[in-house]
Amino acid sequence: MRKKRPNEIRTKKKRLRGKWIALEILMICVGLALLTVAVLNAGWISTASPVPPPETTTESSTAATTTEEPTTTEPETTTQPPLDIDGLRDKKLVALTFDDSPQRTQTTRLLDFLKEQDVRVTFFMVGVNVKDAPEIVRRAAAEGHQVASHTYNHKDLTKLGPERLAQEIGDTAALIEELTGARPTAMRPPYGAQNAAVQAAAGTPLILWSIDPKDWSTRDADKSYSRVLANVRDGDIVLLHDLYRESVDAAERIIPALKEQGYTFVTVDQLLAARGGAKPGDVVFNRPRG
């Protein structure tokens, strides 16, 4: 083996030093890149990408917005359209109502369609479902729909003792108020089952219905559509259920068809305000012109 000459050793050392410097530069670049990603994720620097609407908020995006409520892009208070009650009085009115919601997929679909159509409806929501999808409840209220109570557990209220009855109504009202900032002003007893005890405990008018296309049992959009269209009259309260795809399909056809017939869509509150009002405990089926 030949001995290495000193200048050969020096060149090797130089090459080694060059490699170290390259490695250091690489490490600094990686470090900077990681830091940038961290800063962007923490939201310290605002990016050009728009804030996703609350209905599309998923587990992945909630991680990045831990300090933010998913609905900060929308007003906290209920923004029902201004009531021109005198203007409504002589119009052909119909109140579409949707029971048992919210159901994340179908209620979101329905809300998107209602927004597109500029139509307000009334939701009779069930407490246990509200707990599951609070952002949908906030959205419905923020978009001017009436969020009303369909009790907490969807029990037949006429079969409950006074304490359970008060709980079913009171807990739902409190939950809706917590989410929307407004206590519900209407209650629909499950199955339409009510008696003097339910009327006394309600604290709001009891809203039943005058048109029931039985959408929940047929699960047939065609039937629901034609039953509503064949029977609807001024002042009707139409019962539908936004738990089911077929019911939302039907609503997507009912609304344009009724618009064509000259109907104005109102919430239950608007219908009552335009047609004589109602007291707590009153049972309301419809409100045709006096």
Q: Which residues bind Ni ion (CB under 5 A)?
A: 99-100, 190
Q: Least distance from C-beta 209 to Ni ion, angstroms?
A: 11
Nearer to Ni ion, 93 or 187 (CB): 187
Nearer to Ni ion, 99 or 236 (CB): 99
Q: Least distance from C-beta 119 to Ni ion, angstroms?
A: 22
How is the chain classified by DSSP, letter by letter?
Answer: -PPPPHHHHHHHHHHHHHHHHHHHHHHHHHHHHHHHHHHHHHTSS--SSPPPPGGG--HHHHHHTTTS-TTTTS-SS--PPP--HHHHHTSEEEEEEEEEE--HHHHHHHHHHHHHHT---EEEE-HHHHHH-HHHHHHHHHTT-EEEE--SS---GGGS-HHHHHHHHHHHHHHHHHHHSS--S-B--GGG---HHHHHHHSS-EE--SB---HHHH--HHHHHHHHHHH--TTEEEEEETTSHHHHHHHHHHHHHHHHTTEEE--HHHHHHHTT---TT-EES-----
Q: Least distance from C-beta 99 to Ni ion, angstroms?
A: 4
145 is catalytic: no
Nearer to Ni ion, 124 or 263 (CB): 124
Neighbour count for residue 276 (Cβ, 10 Å) = 10
Q: Least distance from C-beta 203 to Ni ion, angstroms?
A: 19
249 is catalytic: no
To the nearest 10 degrees (0 to 180), the angle between helices 104-117 and 134-142 is: 10
Marked catalytic residue, from 99, 236, 249, 269: 99
In Å, how far from its chain's centre is CA 132? 11
Nearer to Ni ion, 111 or 187 (CB): 187
> Nearest to Ni ion by Cβ — which residue?
99
Nearer to Ni ion, 153 or 167 (CB): 153
**Cβ-contact 253, 225 below 8 angstroms:** yes
Q: Least distance from C-beta 278 to Ni ion, angstroms?
A: 20
Q: Least distance from C-beta 109 to Ni ion, angstroms?
A: 19
Task: Let me know how long the chain is.
Answer: 290
Marked catalytic residue, from 145, 241, 242, 249: 241
Nearer to Ni ion, 215 or 249 (CB): 215
| Residues carrying an active site annotation | 99, 241
